[in-house]
Structure 1
Amino acid sequence: MNRPLSKRSKLRAALLAAPLTVAATGALIAAAPATHVKTETPAASAPVLRSESIGVANALSDAFRDVATHVLPSVVAIENRPDTSWQSAKQPIPDSGQSLEKENPFKGTPFEDMFRNHEFGRRGGNAPGQMTPRQAPRSQAGIGSGVIIDSAGIVLTNNHVVEGGGTVIIKTQDGREFTATEVLTDPQTDIAVVKFEGDSSLVAAKIGDSEAMEVGDWVVALGQPFGLESTVTAGIVSAKNRGIGITDRENFIQTDAAINPGNSGGPLVNLRGEVIGINTAISSRGGGNNGVGFAVPSNLAHWVSDQLVHHGQVKRSYLGVSIQPVNYELSTQLGVAPKSGVVVTNVFPKTPAAKTGLKTGDVIVNFGGIHVTTPQQLQLAVERSPLGNTLTVDVVRDGKSIELTYEPEAAPNQFGASTQSTEKSDGVKMQSLGLEISELSADVAKQLGMESQTGVVITRVQEGSAAAESGLKPGMVIVQVNRHDVSSPGEFEKQIAEDSDGSVLLLVRTTQGSRFVVVQN
């Protein structure tokens, strides 16, 4: 008697029978000689690209192509061929038995400098792994880049590309070579002008306005990296007004456009094909590009080149002050916004600054119509002031805005150059600040190189104190406390006792200059 299967039994029987069915079906399929079974599956579709996105990308690509086509004919390679007829005393010819350093296997190739140990920075080598801004090295000894700014025969480049003497050769994009007739340099900005006998067939690049560039703007770097011809890289402006310590006059444009060995002296241009900088330095651990490059702004480079072409040297104006930036702590003491100007810490007698009426503690916010927020900006604005003109200087004095008049004068040689010495002596201890002060006698002032100065001299600074944390050191002369002149320890103590907000504003001076210091009391 057959009993009906339960639902669970039916399911179990079906599962046991399933492999047999599949196997049998498979055998039948295999046995069918001309049977093709087509399985219908939905086709995978590619994502739809938006026409707007493609249009934007193509437009940017077209812009880069147009810039390269437009500017490359103006880019040149510069070779500085040294005079090898004289043997340097610093490099004696070794005799046959003298051991030599292992030769670079890439010597004589465009990659020689990439595998050579470099000495980074201006003042010595770096610790392993340390990244330091430095001048972009030339790909081979004496090879760099430049840009034609006048078809009559004027090339703008870096000083470090052509320095050292020798014969300077200019190689154009069409394969021609010209020998320089004159090389004019300005080491303070690392800018040089190379003159040669040009002709109307040469293409000169247009100089743009570097001040109009903003962080985030696209830029293109052109040059001859590694000795290769016509190389173009793209990036953006990463920062402006950079000072990195490789030249005396700095206001660099920072960019992530690749600046490699041999790019030195080549142009940095905007998407209109205008030169807005001269490629100068890279920040590198091993000599190559690390995405941090620096260029001299075109406004500064153009002014320097005009000075060199017309005068053979750079004529700079001067003001005659010591200055420092306005940081947050200092701004609260001076009653101005942080980074809103540059504060005057000393006015030298018989200088244009003294004649202008500037005073210690003035915050210069505009100079000749140029808004200044860093000492570098003010220095460059002053130096470019044309002689014979009259300029306005907007300052904030004791919280009030006033306008002064400045008449530029040529900077004397070695203005402000001096040496510094210090000497300790017993004095009055200021425990709340962590320093000891003493009267600035005539003998002490002479030893410090500040015979005409009045104030009190710091003789000792307690380690870990507020004074030490503020950067005060023995030998510094304090001339003001909270904007009041002091000439004795007693006057100093009196001003400190009258302090009520917990911080003290000191004006200190050394032979190197003056600056304001905020010390927590």
Structure 2
Amino acid sequence: MRLTKLNKRKAPWIVGFAIAAMIGSTAAVHLQAESNPPRVSAAVANANSLSEAFRETARVVAPSVVTITSETEVAGPTAPRQGQPMDDEMMKRFFGEGTPFGEMFKGQPEMHRFFKPSAESTTRTGIGSGVVIDASGLILTNNHVVADATNVMVKLADGREFKASEVKTDPKTDLAVLKIDGATDLVAARMGDSDRMEIGDWVLALGQPFGLEGTVTAGIISAKSRGIGITARENFLQTDAAINPGNSGGPLVNLAGEVIGINTAISSRSGGNNGVGFAIPIDEAKWVSDQLIKDGVVRRAMLGVGIQKVSHDLASTFGVQSNHGVLVTEVVPGSPAEKAGLKQGDVILSFSGREVHDPRGLQNVVEQSDPGAKQSIEIMRDGKPLTIEAVCEVQPEAGLAHSGQTAEVSKVESLGMEVGNLTEDLAKKLGVKDIAGVVITNVNPGSAADRAGLQEGNVITQVERKSVASVDQFEALTKDHDLSNPLLLLVKTDQGSRYVILKSGT
């Protein structure tokens, strides 16, 4: 009986012991499992390696990135608020209404304070970024960050501030070099080779977007050799690394920590990054900055030709491959091109041993060549290869022509436009001289002329490579032409001469 009672008393303990033993066994198994965790996948390991690369690159470059604050005197009530990161006329070109990228801030009233005028202020303050390129105190940035500034301050990554003692600018490329004195222990960024960057390569953008110092964003090279119509000289790298107002002038770097571009613009409808940013290639920036540092100005070489891209239609007409070479549309009298024997209709295939595929590429290689030195030019003329030599000269400054109106009109219905004689008075209004031709006075919407991009004020100087000096000559050359057979015109615009092909709609 007692035994029974004893057994009854012991039973709960025995059961508890058994349960504890089971729990302990399970815990032991769990601890053993934890001591042998599953291995990280190769994909995660690769991602971690990339993260470490970003981290190390940012650590190396960050000490070379600076904040630039500029002050510009502004008269009366048109002055924006002081101290705002977007008090910058060039920024308005990028983000304001009517820019190539569309409206900024629409539907975002909280952002309008960046442009709100202030009647009591006479000083406009702008903010941007820059990068130290020489430990002696030289800093590379954008021209629009410091343009027309009466005072420029540079804040280093360690918080020290210095007034810029020198500001040298090149508006054509939107680049500037600043000099600060008395700064010790400056860390100059390493320069890379932008020509070696390929679409898909990883990059980091560093700067002070919206005044947020020390910001780093990551992305890839999305495209090369972009032109977006905001500066006179464009050969941008396109990236999806986040670039925002205030990033201007900051470095775009590769994963080796080398500067391969200077951030300069974004395409945005929202006021911030939309995944489309642009940077000036460092190869071009080095060429410009070297001259600014040495001479204070940039001297560019010139050949003296008007050029255009070889489209598919033009390629078959001039006997070359599409998108290979550039077509000469105009030869400036007395220019190096004329002296070398270049002619309208020639296709330039290479310059100084470098192949060219578009007008921007030829412009860059010519401008950066040595004035006074002989340059070998490979061309295609009437379907035959030819090599000539030219000696480029220093490029003078020149303005653009403007459009105008005329009276004496003749309709050419088959082409979809009206043309008139180019009188001496009209030529002055159009800003053209020493040329003969007929001026376009009207273009019918949807016509062959409209589809080809012809506009009122353009001057037609050739039809099928034959010169025209009057409406009568133009009509004689075009009246019986069937546009099922494309018609080649040489047209003078305010951007220079270009070949245009008119053809029937498809």
TM-score normalised by the chain length of structure 2:
0.80
**8 A Cα contact 2:266 2:276, kept in partner:** yes
Distance in 2, matches of 1:491 and 1:248, equals: 36
Q: How does 1:345-384 map to 2 (within 5 A)?
A: 345-384=329-368
Closer, same or farther in 2 for the Cα pair 1:126/1:152, shift >3 Å? same
Q: Which amino acid aligns with 2:154?
A: I
**8 A Cα contact 1:222 1:231, kept in partner:** yes
Closer, same or farther in 2 for the Cα pair 1:123/1:392, shift >3 Å? farther
Distance in 2, matches of 1:301 and 1:113, equals: 24
1:312 correspondence with 2:296 = yes
1:409 correspondence with 2:393 = yes
Q: Which amino acid aligns with 2:45?
A: G
- 2:435 equivalent in structure 1: 453
- 1:418 equivalent in structure 2: 401
Q: Which has the higher helix share?
A: 2
Q: How does 1:478-497 map to 2 (within 5 A)?
A: 478-487=460-469, 492=474, 495-496=477-478, 497=480
Q: Which amino acid aligns with 2:465?
A: R
1:71 to 41, 61, 77: 61
Q: Which amino acid aligns with 2:323?
A: K
Q: Which amino acid aligns with 2:137?
A: G
- Report the count of equivalent residues: 464
Q: Which amino acid aligns with 1:60?
A: L
Distance in 2, matches of 1:167 and 1:443, equals: 46
1:266 to 228, 236, 250: 250
Q: Please give the secondary structure, in 2, of the residue aligned with 1:381.
A: helix
Closer, same or farther in 2 for the Cα pair 1:240/1:81, shift >3 Å? same
1:469 correspondence with 2:441 = no
**Unmatched segments (≥5 aa) in structure 2:** 1-14, 105-112, 116-123
1:225 correspondence with 2:202 = no
- 2:226 equivalent in structure 1: 242
1:121 correspondence with 2:93 = yes
Q: Please give the secondary structure, in 2, of the residue aligned with 1:509.
A: strand
Distance in 2, matches of 1:492 and 1:390, equals: 40
**8 A Cα contact 1:147 1:155, kept in partner:** yes
- 2:498 equivalent in structure 1: 515
Q: How does 1:28-47 map to 2 (within 5 A)?
A: none
Closer, same or farther in 2 for the Cα pair 1:233/1:511, shift >3 Å? closer
1:499 Cα deviation (Å)? 6.9
**8 A Cα contact 1:75 1:146, kept in partner:** yes
1:409 Cα deviation (Å)? 0.8
**Which 10-residue stretch deviates more, 328-337 or 278-287?**
328-337
Identity %: 51
**8 A Cα contact 1:239 1:254, kept in partner:** yes
- 2:4 equivalent in structure 1: none
**Unmatched segments (≥5 aa) in structure 1:** 1-32, 93-100
1:53 correspondence with 2:40 = no
Closer, same or farther in 2 for the Cα pair 1:255/1:503, shift >3 Å? same
**8 A Cα contact 2:67 2:128, kept in partner:** yes
Closer, same or farther in 2 for the Cα pair 1:198/1:386, shift >3 Å? farther
1:184 Cα deviation (Å)? 0.7
**8 A Cα contact 1:423 1:474, kept in partner:** no
The CA deviation string for residues 461-518 of structure 1, in whole angstroms up to 9 with x for no partner, is 4443322322334543322222233445565455444779611111122454211111
Q: Please give the secondary structure, in 2, of the residue aligned with 1:354.
A: helix
- 2:7 equivalent in structure 1: none
Q: How does 1:154-173 map to 2 (within 5 A)?
A: 154-173=138-157
1:88 correspondence with 2:88 = no
Closer, same or farther in 2 for the Cα pair 1:334/1:499, shift >3 Å? farther
**8 A Cα contact 2:403 2:458, kept in partner:** no
1:446 Cα deviation (Å)? 5.8
**8 A Cα contact 1:138 1:144, kept in partner:** no
1:168 Cα deviation (Å)? 1.8
**8 A Cα contact 1:394 1:402, kept in partner:** yes
**8 A Cα contact 2:66 2:131, kept in partner:** yes
Q: Which amino acid aligns with 1:432?
A: S
2:489 to 493, 506, 512: 506
1:434 correspondence with 2:416 = yes
TM-score normalised by the chain length of structure 1:
0.78
1:400 Cα deviation (Å)? 2.1
2:179 to 195, 203, 210: 195
Q: Which amino acid aligns with 1:477?
A: V
Q: Please give the secondary structure, in 1, of the residue aligned with 2:500.
A: strand
Distance in 1, matches of 2:296 and 2:87, equals: 38
Distance in 2, matches of 1:80 and 1:346, equals: 42
Distance in 2, matches of 1:298 and 1:129, equals: 24
Distance in 1, matches of 2:484 and 2:72, equals: 64
**8 A Cα contact 2:131 2:251, kept in partner:** yes
**8 A Cα contact 1:119 1:126, kept in partner:** no
Q: Please give the secondary structure, in 2, of the residue aligned with 1:331.
A: helix
**8 A Cα contact 1:120 1:126, kept in partner:** no
1:156 Cα deviation (Å)? 0.5
Q: Which amino acid aligns with 1:216?
A: G
Q: Which amino acid aligns with 2:371?
A: L
Closer, same or farther in 2 for the Cα pair 1:495/1:225, shift >3 Å? same
Distance in 2, matches of 1:242 and 1:299, equals: 15
- 1:10 equivalent in structure 2: none
Q: Which amino acid aligns with 1:77?
A: T
**Which 10-residue stretch deviates more, 331-340 or 142-151?**
331-340
Q: Which amino acid aligns with 2:460?
A: I
1:323 Cα deviation (Å)? 1.6
- 1:28 equivalent in structure 2: none
Distance in 1, matches of 2:44 and 2:215, equals: 26
Closer, same or farther in 2 for the Cα pair 1:269/1:198, shift >3 Å? farther
**Which 10-residue stretch deviates more, 255-264 or 484-493?**
484-493
